[in-house]
Amino acid sequence: MLFLLIITIAASFGIRRATLSEGITRNQLDYEISRQAAEAALRDGERDLLLVLASGTTAPGAICARGDERPIPERTGPPHFGDDCPRGQCRFPLAYYDTSNYTNAPPTNPQPWWPTTNKGGQWGDNTVDDAADCAFKGAVPIGTFTGTPTIRGVARQPEYLMEYLARGDDVVMRITARGFGADIRTETVVQSYFRPFLK
């Protein structure tokens, strides 16, 4: 009887350990999926910034057209960038960023890529399904302007925001992207700085 009890305890311990290892592996896989989705959205944002199309022309496979938003005039201040991030294009004065504080309640001057809930971020509702939705504000779902295919196996398509930053003579675009794993609770946010206006 004692021997049977020892075997039962050992088997229970082994099953618990295997279940825990499986959960850790699944979480790691889901994180990798969300990270890769975020990276794909980041690259899609860079492609979006480089789009040079005639006004009203849509890239192959894209839902919406950038039109007269491209090319962005160098050094003179871009059109269609604003503090409510029209079509994913954000612009705030430098003083806004300088006094931005996440820890205040409510936060002071929320940056567009902060979490939407209680933090004032500009992430969209991710429902750009046809040309009628092209006047949206907030983040851009992958492929909306570039025609990049959607990603399979994720709970929600990745999206990105673009910020026009100008400090002195230096004009830089900051792209922030977020991706999701197979579980909507797994979310990864990545950023890059991009200079499409080099002389």
pLDDT 10s digits, 3-54: 777 777 777 766 777 666 666 668 889 999 999 999 999 999 999 888 766 6
32 with 51: CB under 8 angstroms?
Answer: no
Using pLDDT thresholds of 50, 70 and 90, give the confidence band for residue 75: very low
Residue 176 has pLDDT above 70, yes or no: yes
pLDDT digits (tens, 9 = 90+) for 135-156: 899 999 999 999 999 999 999 9
DSSP 144: T
Give me the numbers of helices (H) and strands (E) for the chain, helices first please: 2, 5
Q: For 95-127, how does the pLDDT look when each residue is reduced to its tens digit (9 = 90+)?
A: 888 888 888 878 888 889 888 777 878 887 777
What's the token pair of residue 169? 């003579």
pTM score above 0.75 = yes
- Would you state the pLDDT for residue 198? 53
86-to-23, 60, 71, 117, 134 alpha-carbon distances in Å: 40, 22, 16, 19, 10
Token digits of residue 40:
């794909």
DSSP state of 87: T
How far from chain centre, in Å, is Cα 193?
14
Pairing of strands 89-90, 140-141: unpaired
Torsion of CA 54, 59, 65, 67, to 10 degrees: -20
CA distances from 160 to 10, 19, 63, 190 (A): 49, 36, 16, 9
Instruction: Compute the mean pLDDT over every residue in the chain, rounded to the nearest whole number.
Output: 83
